[in-house]
Homo-oligomer: A and B are copies of this chain.
Amino acid sequence: MNAPTPAQHLIPQVAQREVPQVLLDALSERFGNQFSAAMAVREQHGRDESSYSVPPPAAVVFAQSTQDVADAVKLAARYKVPVIPFGVGSSLEGHLLAVQGGISLDVGRMNQVLSINADDLTVTVQPGVTRTQLNAAVKSTGLFFPIDPGADATIGGMSATRASGTNAVRYGTMRENVLALEVVTAQGEIIRTGTRAKKSAAGYDLTRLMVGSEGTLGVITEITVKLYPLPEAVMAATCSFSTLADAVNATIQIIQMGVPIARCELLDGNTIRIVNAHSKLSLREGAMLLFEFHGSPAGVKEQVETVQSITDEFGGAAFEWAETPEERTRLWTARHNAYFAGVQSVPGCKAITTDTCVPISNLADALLDSVTEAQEAGLPYFLVGHVGDGNFHVGYLIDPNKPEERVLAEKLNSQLVERALKLGGTCTGEHGVGLHKMEFLRTETGDGAVNMMRTIKRALDPDNIMNPGKIFLL
């Protein structure tokens, strides 16, 4: 018996489940050219942005409608075969990997914006609509959808992982912004979990149970989300600090003062170097906060004044303004690309990414020691943070051919997560649990809560066919 490869050693070893030929034949017959068992297609659907290597799914179904999803799930259910929903493949924690075998259910072609209700500040979309597509579709209404994970993820995938991003400090996460869902259950039934009303006390909050369930309770086939009026005034600026501690402490004070800041992002000097090189920018090297202010002209002016007086107090340099929409876009594109810039900064590397979130008063304690540890370990790394939310990511860049680097990175990750949990935080602010954080979830929430999750999973999906082996093992 071979030892597990370095890539595998953190994945719980559960047997692949059989995908009978009769199911593949039935899917092929039902779906025609929306079905593929070609190796290239399977491999493309058998990986995400995580560092794991797992055999691909046995086949891929390209759903074009809710009925397609329901039919595919019903067929898979008949043979108790796993179904793994797939959007664009931008998950970070192994959510899309066929660890127990099965079928990938690609909803990327379900990419219609179904109804824009500008008067109600809501829009209903199919799950394959991406966030940039959504914003393009609603642009003429004067509204926008703020949630922006780095990748151009699908709204379905973002719902499934409870995603957020840079604007969450002001506008909340998918948890706060999804109003209602259509879901195909593990039995292939189509249900609706809410209405377009802004609030409701009508029974269990199935919407929020599904948001963040990582495909383990059903397939999201329609999503109604909130929209927001484009702010009258938008200003973006960067501010450099002599030390990372000053940048973090300035952030803490900005949040404690209740400034309704739209974005408050942190990069350290090392990451600024990487971003400058990748995006051909000349941001000042050193710990930097990137801000965006939304509001009326007077409101933005007030926010800027408050934030400037706080950054002054912590020795921040003068704000450098991104004045025009083009400059702002360039700045935030560079920020959104920081993850990819980091990964590309070391040719051939893989990133082991962390994602803790702590109460804001503990941000300095959580972040500074973690960065020091990364530096002392000598692994290349990058640091980006939605620090206004107390959320940050360290990416450790490892040579996938050097097992000792992975072991070191995972050790650093464990130290970082354990520190965050001791400080009242969570093991994942926005990426989800996937394969990577099952043990951390148990530490964070305790056996009682994980057992309650497992009980719900068993009740709703007794044959464990919906994306099995993620979040927890049954």
A453 touches B197 (CB 8 A): no
Q: Identify A296's interface contact among B217, B299, B431, B456, CB under 8 A.
A: B299
B455 touches A200 (CB 8 A): no
**Nearest-CB distance from A208 to chain B (Å)?**
4
Q: Identify A202's interface contact among B192, B359, B441, CB under 8 A.
A: B441
Residues from chain B with Cβ under 8 Å of A201 in the complex: 161-163, 212, 355, 426, 428-433
**Nearest-CB distance from A254 to chain B (Å)?**
12
B-contact 0/1 string along A163-194, CB 8 Å cutoff: 11000100011011000000001000111111
B175 touches A390 (CB 8 A): no
- Can you give 13 contacting A-B residue pairs, CB < 8 Å? A120-B359, A121-B256, A192-B449, A193-B445, A197-B425, A199-B357, A201-B212, A202-B437, A202-B444, A205-B209, A299-B302, A455-B460, A456-B459
Q: Which residue of the partner chain B has the closest CB to A363?
A: B120
**Nearest-CB distance from A465 to chain B (Å)?**
16
A117 touches B426 (CB 8 A): no
Q: Identify A428's interface contact among B202, B449, B452, CB under 8 A.
A: B202
B-contact 0/1 string along A105-141, CB 8 Å cutoff: 0000000000001011110000000000000000000
Residues from chain B with Cβ under 8 Å of A163 in the complex: 201
B-contact 0/1 string along A420-456, CB 8 Å cutoff: 0100111111111100010011001110111011011
Residues from chain B with Cβ under 8 Å of A185 in the complex: 448, 452
A305-364 interface with B by 8 A CB criterion: 355, 357-362
Q: Which residue of the partner chain B has the closest CB to A438?
A: B203
Number of interface residues of A (CB under 8 A): 90
Q: Does A211 reach chain B (CB closer than 8 Å)?
A: yes
Residues from chain B with Cβ under 8 Å of A198 in the complex: 357, 359-360, 389-391
- Given A196-B359, A359-B117, check contact A209 B208 (CB 8 Å): yes
- Given A202-B433, A203-B453, check contact A358 B197 (CB 8 Å): yes
Interface centre among A209, A362, A453 (most CB of B within 10 A): A209
Q: Does A257 reach chain B (CB closer than 8 Å)?
A: yes
Q: Does A72 reach chain B (CB closer than 8 Å)?
A: no
Q: Does A293 reach chain B (CB closer than 8 Å)?
A: no
Residues from chain B with Cβ under 8 Å of A204 in the complex: 209, 212-213, 217, 452-453, 456, 471
Q: Does A378 reach chain B (CB closer than 8 Å)?
A: no
- Given A199-B168, A359-B117, check contact A175 B208 (CB 8 Å): yes
Q: Does A79 reach chain B (CB closer than 8 Å)?
A: no
**Nearest-CB distance from A115 to chain B (Å)?**
10
Given contacts A198-B357, A202-B428, A458-B459, 6 further A-B contacts (CB under 8 A): A121-B360, A195-B426, A196-B424, A200-B428, A202-B440, A229-B257
Q: Does A298 reach chain B (CB closer than 8 Å)?
A: yes
B444 touches A206 (CB 8 A): no
Q: How far, in angstroms, from A175 to B302 measured CA to CA in the complex?
A: 30
**Nearest-CB distance from A213 to chain B (Å)?**
6
Q: Does A472 reach chain B (CB closer than 8 Å)?
A: yes
**Nearest-CB distance from A335 to chain B (Å)?**
18
- Given A121-B256, A172-B176, A185-B448, check contact A205 B211 (CB 8 Å): yes
4 nearest CB pairs, A to B: A459-B459, A191-B448, A229-B258, A119-B361
A228 touches B120 (CB 8 A): no
A175 touches B205 (CB 8 A): yes
Q: How far, in angstroms, from A245 to B309 measured CA to CA in the complex?
A: 47
A472 touches B203 (CB 8 A): yes
Q: Identify A441's interface contact among B203, B357, B427, B456, CB under 8 A.
A: B203
- Given A117-B359, A460-B455, check contact A448 B189 (CB 8 Å): yes
